[in-house]
Amino acid sequence: MKLPGLFACCAVAFLAGCPGGHSTVPATAPATVPTGAPGFIPAIALPGMAKTYIHPGSQMAFPDKVAGFHRIEITKYAPDESDVSAGYNSDDPTSLVTATVYVFPAPVIPNLPSETPPAARARQFERALAAVKKEITDAHPGAKLISEAEFVLNQVGRSHKGKKVSYEMAFNDGARPVNSCSDMYLFLSGKWLIEYRISCPKTSAAAAQRAINEFLTALTWDEI
């Protein structure tokens, strides 16, 4: 991701994802990411995307512009594009808010005797949540967990229930550490997981919250 100013490297470091999971490649350089840890799935940027990219499996749409943010990349992590992400930067060069939205298959879990469908979905979601949190802390050992709570995303005509996990972490931009706030939102919809990772410098987090809320509300998706 190309971001202006001091926070550019910091935001990239967090939103670039984790070995063995999701990672991003700038759209200007469509190439395979070098292999990291064992089991790493190479990420490939998709050049020449249309104004609105439609995820083939879920049909979730990623417009090139969303509520004061512009899309800078679409990245796939599976040959069939079942696992993809869209990277967005704020149009406001002073806010330094970056967002990456992922869509990927929910984990398949074995059925348990006498388990109800809602209980099975809750267990499926918690397994996915634990895996995403592990990816984050494996990639960023210094990340400090601030909070974890139920979260309801209210959009026009629909509400999505999930969880929000907030972290604080410091990145070194080559000159000095920059403290940042990084929020992860996770939702289970049908057989798909929708994950948001949104970061900004800690010093501007309060001022950026309105823009973040507008982005979350505007990037709509139906139950899929």
Please check the confidence at residue 217 and state whether its pLDDT lies above 60: yes
pLDDT score recorded for residue 190? 86
pLDDT score recorded for residue 125? 93
Residue 87 falls within a domain, yes or no? Answer: yes
Tell me which residue of 16, 101, 96 sits closest to 62, measured CA to CA: 101
Residue 1 falls within a domain, yes or no? Answer: no
**CA R_g for the chain:** 17
Residue 30 falls within a domain, yes or no? Answer: yes
Residue 3 falls within a domain, yes or no? Answer: no
Summarised one tens digit per residue, pLDDT across range 160-211 is 899 999 999 876 666 677 788 899 999 998 889 999 999 888 887 888 888 8
89-105: average pLDDT: 87
Summarised one tens digit per residue, pLDDT across range 147-166 is 999 999 888 888 889 999 99
Tell me which residue of 102, 103, 99 sits closest to 215, measured CA to CA: 99
Count of domains for the chain = 1
* Domain that includes residue 74, residue range: 8-218
The mean pLDDT of the chain is 76
Residue 2 falls within a domain, yes or no? Answer: no
Residue 223 falls within a domain, yes or no? Answer: no
Residue 41 falls within a domain, yes or no? Answer: yes
**CA–CA separation, 208 vs 161, rounded Å?**
23
Share of the chain above pLDDT 90, in %: 26
Find where tokens 């696992």 sit: 83
Choose between 22 and 159: higher pLDDT.
159
Residue 140 falls within a domain, yes or no? Answer: yes
- pTM greater than the 0.85 cutoff: no
